[in-house]
Structure 1
Amino acid sequence: MHILVTGATGFLGGAAARALAEAGHRVTATGRDLNRGRTLEQAGVRFLPADLRHPGAVAELLPGVDAVLHCAARSTLWGNWADFMRDNVQASADLAHACAERGVRLVHVSTPSIYNATGLSHQVPESTPVGPRFDSLYARSKALAEEAVRLALPDAAVLRPRGIYGPGDPSIVPRLALALRSGRLPRLTGDEVYTELTHVQNVVHAARLALERPAPGIFNVSDGVSTPIWATIDRLADVLGVPRPSRRLPARLVEGAAALLEGVYRLRPGAPEPPLTASGVRLLTRAMTLDLTRARERLGYMPLVHPVDGLDEVFAGLAR
């Protein structure tokens, strides 16, 4: 199968492009980072630099392609709405329309962040109604992107992986490590908070199943095991040789302060991401587990990597 992977110079897209090529598929990868593109070519992946935001870019990539894995996205808790609309909603809609016109299979990567404002936290199913309120611009944009994709291409598969991590993770673990090393991370809850994470190879496994065994619909994806957030942070602190968070601050107070800080930063055009965001605080204080029944039954999905092993691998890399 000839598969196009978008966002292949990013964390998930790069891992997916390499794994699909190793599995014997013909893979064309696209992205904007030429250096990472050259690294993909060394792994046997054809790389075509492209910016999906530009008119006509998608049409030039699809000839001869059987399926698309759409990983490209603006994946951040900070930014302005115009950028999220352009990068997440419009680019996804354009790609879905182009796939529909050419009869190309599409697997679209979304996020369970769209559930965050629903008030549900335990075994959340894909059927959960979302919106019109979301807890971040990112979540809102991904929900709209899903809507646009499924409107243009009802047969698309939409994956919602929770908290992607693994070797090369540029976000979750590095951010926690930076906060621990700086000593600025307080303990925000008295009780443990359980969430679910997804090792990058588990996301790739789910994507490969969706590409090879077409199954239209929306699918939650995770490691399938609840992970205690604060026990994991303590273990990371031990690995780094820094103090565990001990100074207690009420989560609501910190979340409110973060919201005020965001407001200040938004008054400064071009300002970088603030050191603290309300959405980031909520990720550390609010539980979230997912119902994986649909992915198991329709895709045949079973996680390949357990979070204990996956986090041990990532932590060992930080300790070196």
Structure 2
Amino acid sequence: MRILVTGATGFLGGVTAHELARRGHTVTGLGRDMEKSVALEAGGIEFVRADLRNPADWLPALDAADAVLHAAARSTLWGQWQDFVADNIVVSREIARACAERGLRLVHISTPSVYNATGLSRRVPESAPIGPRFDSPYARSKYLAELEVTAIHPEATLLRPRGIYGIGDTSIIPRLSRALRSGRLPRLVRGEVHTELTHVRNVAHAARLALEGVAPGIYNVTDGVAVPIWATLDALADALGVARPARYIPARLVENAARIMELAAHLHPAQPEPTLTASGVRLLTRPMTLDLTRARERLGYSPVIHPREGLAEVLAAARP
């Protein structure tokens, strides 16, 4: 199969592009990072430099494709709404339209962040009612992108992987590492909080199953096993050789302080990202597990990496 991967110079896009190529598919990767394109081409992946906001950069590549994996996104808890609209909603809509017009298979990477404001926490199904409130502009933009994609390309597969991590992660582990190294991260709960994460290779596995099969609709994707957030933070601190979070401050106080920091950042002309965001605090203090029944039954999904193995790999890489 000839597969076009957007965001191929990113974390998820790059890992999945290499996995698809190893499986014998002909892969073309779209991205903007010329330095990372070297690794793609070394893995037998054709690279096309493209700004996804400019369809002229990527539309010609669809003529040589059978399927598209849309992994590119503005994936951050902070930013200006117009950028989330341009990168997550408009780009997704245009890619879905182009795929539908050409009869191409489309797998779109979304996020279970859309569930964060629902109040649900255990075995959350894809059918959970979502909106109108969202806990971040990122979550709101990704949900609106889902609506665009499903309306334009009803046969598309949409994956909602939670908390993608692994070697090469540029978001979760680096952010937590910076917070631990700063020594300013308090202990926000007295007990433990269990949540699910998703190793990048598990997401790549789910994406491959969706590309090779015919399974339209929305699917939750995780490692399938809940992990203790604060025990994992302690283990990460040990690996980094820094102090574990010890001083307890109630999460509600920290979240309120984060809201004030966000307001101050919004009032600043440059709108710099604050060191703490309310949605970031909630990720460390609110449990969540997802129902994988649909992915198991319709995609044939079963995690290929257990979180015990995946987190051990990440912790080993974090050691000085």
- Alpha-carbon deviation of 1:238? 1.4
Distance 2:90 2:181 in 1: 38
Deviation digits for residues 201-228 of structure 1, max 9, x if unmatched?
0000000000001100100000000011
Unmatched tracts of structure 2, length 5 or more: none
Partner of 1:261: 261
- Alpha-carbon deviation of 1:244? 1.1
Distance 1:55 1:194 in 2: 42
Partner of 1:246: 246
- Alpha-carbon deviation of 1:268? 1.6
Specify the code of the residue in structure 2 equivalent to 1:17. Answer: A
CA RMSD between the two structures = 0.8
Distance 2:34 2:244 in 1: 39
Partner of 2:176: 176
Deviation digits for residues 243-265 of structure 1, max 9, x if unmatched?
11110001011001101101101
- Alpha-carbon deviation of 1:55? 3.7
Q: Contact 1:58 / 1:94 at 8 angstroms: preserved in 2?
A: no
Deviation digits for residues 23-64 of structure 1, max 9, x if unmatched?
100000001111111221111100000011014334222002
TM, length-normalised to structure 2: 0.99
Tell me which moved more, 267-276 or 26-35.
Answer: 267-276
3-state SS of 1:119 partner: coil
Partner of 1:27: 27
Tell me which moved more, 234-243 or 131-140.
Answer: 234-243
Partner of 1:310: 310
Q: Contact 1:58 / 1:98 at 8 angstroms: preserved in 2?
A: no
3-state SS of 1:35 partner: helix
Partner of 2:127: 127
- Alpha-carbon deviation of 1:152? 0.4
Q: Contact 1:58 / 1:95 at 8 angstroms: preserved in 2?
A: no
1:217 and 2:217 matched: yes
Unmatched tracts of structure 1, length 5 or more: none
- The equivalences for 1:1-320 within 5 A come to 1-320=1-320
3-state SS of 2:167 partner: coil
TM, length-normalised to structure 1: 0.99
Tell me which moved more, 140-149 or 237-246.
Answer: 237-246
Specify the code of the residue in structure 1 equivalent to 2:249. Answer: L
3-state SS of 1:56 partner: helix
Q: Contact 2:78 / 2:273 at 8 angstroms: preserved in 1?
A: yes
Distance 2:130 2:58 in 1: 29
Distance 1:212 1:30 in 2: 20
3-state SS of 2:160 partner: strand
3-state SS of 2:271 partner: coil
Q: Contact 1:114 / 1:142 at 8 angstroms: preserved in 2?
A: yes
Q: Contact 2:111 / 2:159 at 8 angstroms: preserved in 1?
A: yes
- Alpha-carbon deviation of 1:235? 1.1
Specify the code of the residue in structure 1 equivalent to 2:243. Answer: P
Q: Contact 2:162 / 2:222 at 8 angstroms: preserved in 1?
A: yes
Distance 2:160 2:148 in 1: 15
- Alpha-carbon deviation of 1:239? 1.5
- Alpha-carbon deviation of 1:309? 0.7
Distance 2:56 2:48 in 1: 14
Distance 1:123 1:312 in 2: 25
3-state SS of 1:89 partner: helix
Tell me which moved more, 251-260 or 57-66.
Answer: 57-66
Q: Contact 2:160 / 2:219 at 8 angstroms: preserved in 1?
A: yes
3-state SS of 1:314 partner: helix
Q: Contact 2:236 / 2:318 at 8 angstroms: preserved in 1?
A: no
